[in-house]
Amino acid sequence: MLFNSYEFIFAFLPVTFLLYFYLNHKNRVQEGKLFLVLSSLFFYAWWNPIYLPLILISMFFNYKMGDLLLKSSDKKILNSMQNSLESETLVPNNTRLKPSVPSSARSLLIFGILANLLLLGYFKYSDFFIENINSVIGSDFKPLHLALPLAISFFTFQQIAYLVDSYRKETHEYDFLNYAVFVTFFPQLIAGPIVHHKEMMPQFETNSAKKINPHHIAMGIFIFSIGLFKKVIIADTFSVWATTGFDVAQSLNLLEAWTTSLSYTFQLYFDFSGYTDMAIGVALLFNIKLPTNFNSPYKATDIQDFWRRWHITLSRFLRDYIYIPLGGNRKGTVRTYSNLLGTFILGGLWHGAGWTFIFWGFLHGMALVIHRVWSSFGIKLWSWVAWIITFNFINISWVFFRAKEWDDAIKVLSAMFSLDNVVLHSALESRLTALNIYGVEYGKMFDNIGGDNSTAIWIVAILLSILWFKNSIEELKEFKVIYRTATITALTLSMGILSLNKISEFLYFNF
């Protein structure tokens, strides 16, 4: 089921909201949680019920593994040992020693992580692995052609984080129903954010969370409406131009190529930003505040700043559960660079089973390495120069992220940087005739991508709005029920609902 559908907006969401708070109002809290879990599983199964047992098995397995990890050693004993060691003169008072964890707990953690990765790998990477084996050794193994289960990347990573946190004694969960709420809560089930148990579940336990909160409802509808507008009005408009340029057009001139790449850059931005806003808005209706996952990433003036703003919870996961365990920046410069590169190559692979995704991750890893090297010299660029470099790198790297095949990426990139395919508007022909000798042609631009001359104006207007206006999260922090916010809500919600006849999936559903 999609957030941007009549079924969700007019049936599923209001029914779930009303029945959940009715049960809480009657002090049937456990029944309320159970109803929320069942509703979330129904929401998940709407796409394809055949994979419902998969998420259930994954939940049962990881809950049991987390329970075993929590019981593998006594945290009080470990803390007592730590305090005892700190009292010794050989240990400075400001030094924290990492308590030893039984090897059985470490083995359990490794087993749990491997089981999750094998499940993810089987469904997401089997065909990719088979195709590459066939290519390398000339074999003829048949692809499995498995459909990718919805949200498998997200609920797998979320549960891996839970296992690691349990190993570190940072979770306290002995109730499967609570754990099921944590995994399946439908506003964040399909495409994140990737949340920690400790940042979401305590919210469900407060008395205020069990009562309808009019202010949260107003905030939720406000940001949900903005997200719906971003998705169905802006992102889906750009998707037409991006799809035609990447998948349909046989060739592109320079302006068409830049229009194609920028169209996808903005499609992905507003698609993911729209989903994030809608997820935050729906969660607020249930008095749950999800972590910020998107914060104007195209305002970034360096690549590190970009990854602090784009898919923030995924960046956090990659940092905490891959980069730091690999050694982070604690083992010398060369090791730091290799850790960065390895982390982002894995991040690229997480997004998709293809060499274009891996190369996209490699590009971002290299960009972070170059940024660190540059920063070590202490040289500062003007902020506008830094922004131009950062934005254009991101735009160019998205070409590999979007392209279905290498040839599609080369088609767009070669046209973007070729000076022998410049086409100007026919109105300029009489004034710029001399440019003919340089290969410049005149005619109607954007023929190949199905747009018109207003496309460029639309792209510039969108870019300026991204750079100059507050984002939705900033608006939410300052939210008040006033005429302005009511007007914004009414306009964006009505325009979004009127455009639901062209429903399309969110891009991150594919990852």
Q: Tell me the three state secondary structure of residue 314.
A: helix
- β-pair type (423-424, 441-442): parallel
* 351 flagged as catalytic: yes
Yes or no: say if 401 and 360 are a contact pair by the CB < 8 Å rule.
yes
What is the Cα–Cα distance from 260 to 241, expressed in whole angstroms? 6
Comparing C-alpha atoms, which of 228, 212, 190 is closest to residue 503?
228
Distance CA 84, CA 171 (A): 24
Q: How many CB atoms lie within 10 A of CB 243?
A: 18
Phi-psi region of 89 (alpha: psi -120 to 50; beta: other; left: phi over 0): alpha
With vertex at residue 398, the alpha carbon angle to CA 237 and CA 473, rounded to the nearest 5 degrees, is: 65
Q: Which residue's structure tokens are 């305002």?
A: 299
Residue 228 and residue 271: Cα distance in Å, rounded? 9
Residues 201, 174: contact at Cβ < 8 Å? no
Distance CA 407, CA 415 (A): 12
Judge contact between 235 and 267, C-beta under 8 A. Answer: yes
Quick one: tokens of 204?
Answer: 């469900």
Decide: helix, strand or coil at residue 20.
helix
Q: Can you tell me the distance from the alpha carbon of 232 to that of 507, in angstroms, rounded to the nearest whole number?
A: 12
Q: Which of 215, 351, 364, 425 is catalytic?
A: 351
End-to-end CA distance of the chain, in Å? 16
Which residue from 169, 206, 167, 198 is spatially nearest to 182, judged by alpha carbons? 198
Backbone angles phi, psi at 249, to 5 degrees: -60, 135
Q: Are 126 and 192 in contact (CB under 8 A)?
A: no
SS3 sequence of 398-449? HHHHHCCCHHHHHHHHHHHCCCCCCEECHHHCCCCHHHHHHCCEECCCCCCC
| Distance from chain centroid for Cα 120 | 17
Report how far residue 264's alpha carbon sits from residue 245's, in angstroms, rounded to the nearest whole number.
9
Point out which residues pair with 441 in neighbouring strands: 423
Q: How many CB atoms lie within 10 A of CB 172?
A: 13
CA 63 to centroid of chain Cα atoms: 24
> What is the identity of the amino acid at 302?
D
Name the residues annotated as catalytic.
351
